[in-house]
């Protein structure tokens, strides 16, 4: 996270760290001395441009400390590569893990940055051989990479998609195996969780993949908010960031998530 980007905005994100983590999370920093709920994921957990993200609303509903471990544009690798964040999540009584696109993880075809998982680092020899006409030096983000590959050859792209799916499933099982508390998976999107994967906003993720994790989790909560972001919520967004804010959930959407999760988490805390 770029801390400097938070200084001139109406929302105070109070960046903090836990357990020696190298990742910056949204504050205020919560105490880990008593039992707590840990929330992992990307933009839908962090809550940029929202004064009170669903993690804070959830804390008020369940009567238990809720720790926001969301990292913008993060994939699973951000947590598996960070012992401090992983330990904080593993020690939680309940863990909420947001399901996000599977493309922001390293795999057999390409490597991503260990913390900023949306950053493309390099292509493997296998991908270079599969796409010899591609100039990878012009690519800096995973979504851009995949868009270019799909445009060049959809047939070969299917091999990449399958590899990313396989890597995501293995990495998710590894993450879940290290949790000691109950795990709740969260689908939080303006789009429904699709039965089959497609080349879209929620890259490669499908209901079949989520259902495959069912034996390892307490529940899968799906929230497709009625209102993603209200028009008046752009008033406090810096002008140059309005287009970015349009893709992120607003206050009403966060409130829906908090209510849905509270119903699933309260029984787990009793």
Name the burial class of residue 268, with classes exposed (0-12), middle (13-18) and buried (19+) by CB atoms within 10 angstroms of its CB: middle
Contact between 253 and 229 (Cβ < 8 Å): yes
Segments in the chain forming alpha helices (H)? 43-46, 54-62, 77-80, 83-90, 125-130, 142-152, 154-177, 207-211, 242-245, 251-269
pTM of the entire predicted model: 0.91
Q: What local confidence, expressed as pLDDT, does residue 201 receive?
A: 53
Model pLDDT for residues 12-43, shown as the tens digit of each residue: 999 999 999 999 999 999 999 999 999 999 99
Contact between 262 and 61 (Cβ < 8 Å): yes
Contact between 167 and 106 (Cβ < 8 Å): yes
Provide the β-strand partners of residue 65: 36
pLDDT in tens, the chain (270 residues): 444 344 445 789 999 999 999 999 999 999 999 999 999 999 999 999 999 999 999 999 999 999 999 999 889 999 999 999 999 999 999 999 999 888 999 999 999 999 899 999 999 999 999 999 999 999 999 999 999 999 999 999 999 999 999 999 999 999 999 999 999 999 999 989 888 666 555 578 889 999 999 999 999 999 999 999 988 888 778 888 898 888 899 999 999 999 999 999 999 998
Rounded CA separation 171/23 (Å): 19
High-pLDDT (> 90) share of the chain, %: 80
């Amino acid at each position: 996270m770029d801390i400097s980007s938070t200084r001139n905005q109406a929302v105070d994100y109070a960046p903090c760290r836990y357990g020696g983590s190298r990742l910056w999370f949204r504050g205020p920093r919560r105490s880990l001395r008593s039992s707590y709920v840990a929330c992992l994921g990307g933009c839908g957990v962090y809550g940029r441009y929202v004064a009170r993200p669903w993690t804070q609303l959830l804390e008020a509903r369940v009567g238990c400390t809720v720790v926001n471990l969301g990292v913008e544009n993060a994939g699973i690798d951000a947590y598996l590569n960070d012992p401090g964040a992983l330990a904080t999540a593993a020690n939680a009584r309940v863990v909420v893990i947001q399901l996000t696109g599977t493309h922001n993880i390293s795999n057999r075809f390409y490597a991503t940055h260990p913390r900023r998982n949306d950053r493309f680092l390099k292509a493997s020899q296998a991908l270079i051989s599969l796409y010899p006409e591609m100039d990878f030096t012009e690519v800096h983000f995973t979504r851009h990479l995949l868009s270019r590959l799909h445009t060049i050859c959809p047939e070969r792209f299917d091999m990449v998609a399958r590899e990313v799916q396989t890597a995501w499933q293995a990495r998710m099982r590894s993450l879940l195996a290290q949790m000691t508390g109950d795990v709740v998976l969260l689908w939080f999107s303006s789009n429904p969780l699709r039965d089959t994967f497609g080349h879209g906003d929620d890259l490669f993720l499908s209901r079949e993949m989520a259902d495959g994790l069912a034996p390892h989790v307490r529940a899968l909560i799906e929230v497709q908010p009625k209102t993603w972001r209200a028009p008046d919520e752009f008033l406090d967004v810096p002008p140059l960031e309005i287009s970015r804010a349009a893709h992120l959930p607003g206050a009403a959407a966060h409130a829906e998530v908090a209510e849905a999760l509270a119903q699933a988490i309260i029984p787990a805390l009793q």
